[in-house]
Structures are given as C-alpha cells and as structure tokens.
Amino acid sequence: MALLKLKLHWQILIALALAVIVGLLVGEDGNLFGVTFFAIFDFIGQLFLNALKMIIVPLIVSSIIVGVASIGDSENLGRLGAKTIGYYALTSLLAIIVGLAVVNLIQPGVVDGSAEEVFGLNANTSELEAQFADKGADDIVAIFLRMVPTNIVAAASNAQMLGLIFFSILYGFFMTRIANQYAEAQYNFFNGMFQIMMQITDLVMRFAPLGVFALVAKTVANTGLEAFGPLALFFFTVVIALGIHFAVTLPLLLRFLGGVSPLRHYRAVSPALLTAFSTASSSATLPLTMECVEKNAGVSNKTSSFVLPLGATVNMDGTALYECVAVMFIAQAYGIELGLATQFSVVLLALLTSIGVAGIPAASLVAIAIILSAVGLPLEGIGLILAVDRVLDMMRTAVNVAGDSAGAVIIAKSEGEEGILEDAVPQRVTG
C-alpha cells in the first residue's frame, strides 16, 4: 500500500526496474499453472494499450472543441492573439523539423535483425512494408483530402485523425459564432465531456505502472536486454534534438525576432526552467513562469497574462518534437522506411496533437497513440519507449516552458514594450 502513495513517476520507475528483473528471471517459457508469464504480460500490456485507444477519439474531439471555443471567444483574439498563435505554431513546427532531421540522421531504431528478434514486436512486418511501400510525394495531396472527411463518424471509427481534428477545429470556431443561448449549451456539453475524459484518462494513467511493467517485462522476457541498446540511442536522439531546439532554435528567435540576449533571457527564467524540469508540468510551473517573465525579464502583465497561460495549454515544442522522434523510432524498429508523404503526415499530426491534447495527463503517450493509429503503425510500439519516457518528460517540459517564456518576450518586444531584459539579474521569486 505504501507504493500506491508514491507519486506516479516513482511508481513507473519502480515498475520499470521490477520489469527488467522479472523478465530476465521468467524468460519466455516460465509459467504459472500452465499459463506462461509471457502470455500474462502480453494480456495486461494489451489491456493498457486498448484503454489508451479507447480514450483517443472523445478526448481529442472535446479538448480541441473546448480549446478553440475558449480562444475564439476571447476579446484578446486580435493582434496579440494572432501574434501569439502564429509564434506558437512556428516554434512547434521548427521543433518538429529539428526532431525529424535528427532521428533521420541517427536512425536509432535501425538494427540488425527483425523487429520480433530485437524488440519483441509481433506485427507482420511484411504487411507493414507493403502498406508503406508506394507512398510518395503525390500522396501529400491525399493528406489534405483526408483533412476534409466525407463522413465524420467513419473518420472517427477508422482513426482518420486529421479529418477529426480539422472538423473539431471548425466546430469549436463556429460554436462562438452562433446565438449565445445555443453556444453556451454546446460549450457546456463539450466542456463536460472534456472533464469526464480527463477523469477517465487519469484513471487509465493510474494503471500506467502496471502497463509499463507488463510491456517492458514482455520485451525483456522475449529478447533479454538486446532492445536496450537501441532504446539508449533513442534516448540520446531525443536529448540531442531537444538540446538543439533549446540552445539553437529558440536563441536565434530571441535574437532575430526579439532583439534580446538569449543568455540574459535564460538567466531571467532559470527558476521556472528548473521547476519545470523537476515537476514535468508546464501548468504547475505557470505561476512561477509568469513571475520570472514579469519581474526578471520586464514583460508587462497584460502580455504575460495572455501569452503564458495560452502557451501552457497549446504550445508544446518539446512534446511535439518528442512525438515525432518517437513515431519515427517505432517505424524504424519495425523496419519500415517512411516516405515523404508519411513523414509529412507525422509532422502535421505532431503539430496538431501537441496543441490539441497538451493539457492532459501523459499527453505525449496519447498523442503518440493518435499518430501511430493515423499512419497505420501498431500501437504496441509504444511499449518500446515507456522505459525512458519519464526522464524525457522532465526534459521536454523544460523546453516547453523555455518556448513559452521566449514567446512572451518576443511578443512583448513586437508590441513596443520597453525595458525588456535590460536588467536580467533574477530577483527573488516565490513559488
């Protein structure tokens, strides 16, 4: 019972350590009353993945509709709103492109041997290869066609996420353009659905330690520790990509769009970055981020109070980058070479899902499940990355907060605010 009182990340780390030990001890042939442990691990792991699948459609529909309706109904959605949304879309896209470039360069999932031998993946790789074989540049046109589904119900049932996301954006936008009595009823309905889905997601994530244990133990029982070499390479691939975005992309934006010193900026918001790393939560760090940006960087409350809360909800540079690298790693693990059109789909879906589901618990796992389903890769591939997800979560959250704070400074400068980062000696901040 004492274990249940620990924070979720500690439960997951303990489950991971136990999974490696148990998987090595029982192997693929160990059994209990005639039932192999491998089959038990497979059953529990599949149950956890099915639960993740179950929440995808209602969660993404409700979260996007409520999010878009909330933004569209804001009186601030004028010049400041357009700049903020434009900046967040730009930085997320740049982060995804960095991740895509690094994972294609390093190729952490490319190994000698089959997906089943190295990673314990059971999917029919020949069928997957045939599915992706003929994808080319011409298929990019088909991606845009899929964004406008002929039947939204069929799109939901067939995991056509681009169409579902596009419809949800339109629905949320035009929900604010109808009579108030109808708009309020619609908003209350979808907000209620979103709150319910948050509760269900929280319930599913309470079983994440068990799911992690089963999926990792299954892999170790099947392949030993052979999969941990590529997994370590995947870990460093994500770290390198996050480092490039944090140390190169954002500083360049600060210098050339904001006209400020990147070093001064990072020094000013360092308390928020350290808190984001330790808590792995952009939302929990938000009060401290606002205080750092206002007191240390000199951004006005008017700008920070609009830009930063919106960023904590929709701007997830690190998360979007991670989603892209994770999906490419899983594809490589299956021996699948994704063509230009499919990689374009991954980029577009990573951008949209990082906005649509960023505010929920374990957002990256849900978003990765969405992208895998959309491009046709097996969901069991998520089991490969669970072992390192928690540590990477801390890193990408710090990058998320860095992107938010940089956005506040850049937008404040574009609004003509004076005194931004002129004296970047951090004051004493609370929180």
Judged by DSSP in three states, 37 sits in: helix
More confident residue, 32 or 237: 237
Q: What is the pLDDT of residue 237?
A: 95
pLDDT tens for 137-195 read 555 666 677 778 888 888 877 767 778 888 888 898 899 889 999 999 999 999 999 88
Q: What is the pLDDT of residue 359?
A: 55
pLDDT tens for 300-330 read 888 888 888 878 777 888 988 998 999 999 8
- Nearest CA among 376, 381, 114, 362 for reference residue 231: 381
Q: What is the pLDDT of residue 430?
A: 47
Question: What 3 state SS string does 351-392 have?
Answer: HHHHHHCCCCCCHHHHHHHHHHHHHCCCHHHHHHCHHHHHHH
The rounded percent of the chain whose pLDDT value lies above 90 is 21
Least confident residue range of 108-117, 207-216, 326-335: 108-117
Range 75-98 average pLDDT:
83
pLDDT tens for 368-398 read 888 888 777 888 788 778 777 777 888 888 9
Instruction: Return mean pLDDT, the chain.
Output: 81
Range 421-426 average pLDDT:
56
Q: What is the pLDDT of residue 424?
A: 47
Residue 5 has pLDDT above 80, yes or no: no
- Going by pLDDT thresholds of 50, 70 and 90, the confidence category of residue 130 is low
Q: What is the pLDDT of residue 198?
A: 81
Least confident residue range of 88-102, 186-200, 278-292, 413-427: 413-427
Residue 416 has φ and ψ, to the nearest 5°, of 85, 15
Judged by DSSP in three states, 416 sits in: coil
Q: What is the pLDDT of residue 425?
A: 46
For 7-414, CATH gives 1.10.3860
Q: Is 412 exposed, middle or buried (0-12, 13-18, 19+ CB in 10 A)?
A: buried
Least confident residue range of 85-99, 107-121, 282-296, 333-347: 107-121
pLDDT tens for 399-418 read 999 999 999 999 999 888 87
Location of structure tokens 């980062």: 421
- Nearest CA among 360, 112, 403 for reference residue 252: 403
The pTM of the full predicted model, rounded to 2 decimals, is: 0.77
Range 206-227 average pLDDT:
78
How many residues in total does the chain contain?
A: 431
Least confident residue range of 34-43, 99-108, 408-417: 34-43
For the residues of 198-261, what is the DSSP string, one character each?
HHHHHHHHHTHHHHHHHHHHHHHHHHTTTTHHHHHHHHHHHHHHHHHIIIIIHHHHIIIII-S-
Q: What is the pLDDT of residue 263?
A: 93
Residue 21 has pLDDT above 80, yes or no: yes
Residue 112 has pLDDT above 80, yes or no: no
Judged by DSSP in three states, 75 sits in: coil
